[in-house]
Each structure stands twice: as structure tokens, then as C-alpha cells.
Amino acid sequence: MLYYGEKIIITIRVIMTINLPIELLETAQMKETEMPREIAIILYQKKRICWEKAAQLSRMTNDEFYQQFYIFLLRF
């Protein structure tokens, strides 16, 4: 538990923070919110994470992730 002024901050679990230069997102023509989905799709495609974890990482339901994964596959 961390005390900051009059606020109490409790960390439930550790989350990794990745700092990316804004130029990377601009070059990739991506929004900040799209990056977790892209990472999840690639990790799932490489069999590094399961379907459920990929959906969780991308902040989607399993059905939403399935739709996005299918759209991703159609791009190639």
C-alpha cells in the first residue's frame, strides 16, 4: 500500500508499462488503443499465449477478439 498525500494507492497486480515514441504510432498509422490488440494478435498467432489471454490483453471479449483476429488474417 502506498500513501500519497491524502490518497491511498493500492496495487492489485503488477502491470507492465511499455513506453513507445509517438512517432512509432504515427508511422504505423495506429491509435494508442490499437497497440494492445496488435500485440495480442501477434502473440496468439505465434502460439505464445492462449486465446483467452489474447482477448484479455487486447481488452476485448473472446468474440470480439475472434472477429478482430479474422480481420487481421484477411489483411494478408
C-alpha neighbours within 13 Å on the C-beta side of residue 65? 23
Q: What is the β-pairing status of strands 2-4 and 7-9?
A: antiparallel
Residue 18 is placed in which grid cell? 511499455
Q: What is the pLDDT along the chain (76 residues), one digit of tens a residue?
A: 444 555 555 554 656 677 778 888 888 898 877 888 888 999 999 999 999 999 998 889 999 999 988 888 888 6
Question: 62 in a domain, yes or no?
Answer: yes
Domain, as residue range, for 68: 18-74
Q: 14-21 — which CB contacts under 8 Å span 24+ positions?
A: none
Domain count, the chain: 1
In a domain, 68, yes or no: yes
Task: Determine, yes or no, domain membership for 12.
Answer: no
Q: Residue 74 is which amino acid?
A: L
Q: What is the pTM of this model?
A: 0.67
